[in-house]
Structure 1
Amino acid sequence: MSKNMIMAGLVVFVLAVLSPFWLNLITSTQAAPEPELLGKAAKVKKCVLDKYEMRAEHMYLLDVWRDSVVRDAARKYTGTNGETFNMSLSTGENSCLGCHEDKAKFCDSCHDYASVSPYCWECHTNPKEIE
């Protein structure tokens, strides 16, 4: 094998390995949308967990809640601040949609940005949709 072929192969390899970095330099990235806090959530400014934990762990928390409600018939959750919350996606006092009233502005904006399709709404009905 000639020295020129080896060098050409190395150049192609380096270009292929570094291409994602160069592509990242020339493309723009859009920041994740801030979920709109409407209704009670805009006034209360507290949740089950702090804002950063909720963003990172809300799907895990909802899975734990689902298992607790369905398997153990537990309906109350005590948050890190000591307050009790209903383990429910429905509207109502101290529940998810009780504070975050507009699913489209709160949930869907981030899920669309992240290109994820949560399966919550296969079983749960968004109260805004049935009104």
Structure 2
Amino acid sequence: MKDKGKIIAGVAIFAALVSFPFWYNTGTAKPAPELILAPEAKAAVTCILPKDQMAKEHMQLLDGWRNSVVREGQRVYVAEDGKKYDMSLSNTCLECHTNKADFCDKCHDYAAVNPYCWDCHVNPKEK
């Protein structure tokens, strides 16, 4: 047991090295970006889903739309309030959210995700 000091020092060094990324980055996270809505979106007042739900679930919604349109031929989405929307990224979403750089790209860059929307859809021209 005369190596007790070396073992404790080794464990301490190991713990410091393993936890280094966590404590090194403490307090350095950037705040979530503020989204800039186009005047059309502000005038529309409502979206397909409530704002907080849309922020969390838009990818599932768009993925479901893609499956419904491409695989089933269904093009109309009926929202919870009974309002009908065309299931179209270009003709529904981008009608209000016209600036891809200020709306889509800011959050996707912040979250470090690369959605595959633009693999098939034409990148919208900024208005």
Other-structure match for 1:98: 95
Alignment correspondent of 1:121: 118
SS in 1 for 2:115: coil
Q: Give the letter aligned to residue 20 of structure 1.
A: P
- TM-score, L = length of structure 1: 0.84
Gaps of at least 5 residues in structure 1 are: none
2:11 corresponding residue in structure 1? 10
1:14 maps to amino acid = A
Identity %: 51
Q: What is the deviation of 1:48? A: 1.3
**Post-superposition CA distance 1:44-92 (Å, at most 9, x none):** 231111111111111111111000001111111112232211110113x
The whole-number CA distance in structure 1 between the counterparts of 2:78 and 2:67 is 16
| Large movers: runs of 4+ above 4 Å | none
Partner of 1:29: 29
Bigger shift: residues 61-70 or 107-116 = 107-116
Report Cα offsets for 1:23-51 as digits up to 9, x if no partner.
Answer: 133x5221111221103211123111111
Partner of 1:112: 109
SS in 1 for 2:25: helix
Extract unaligned runs of 5+ from structure 2: none
RMSD of aligned alpha carbons: 1.9
TM-score, structure 2 as length reference: 0.86
Task: Quote how far apart the aligned CAs of 1:118 are.
Answer: 1.1
Higher relative contact order (CA 8 A, sep 6+): 2
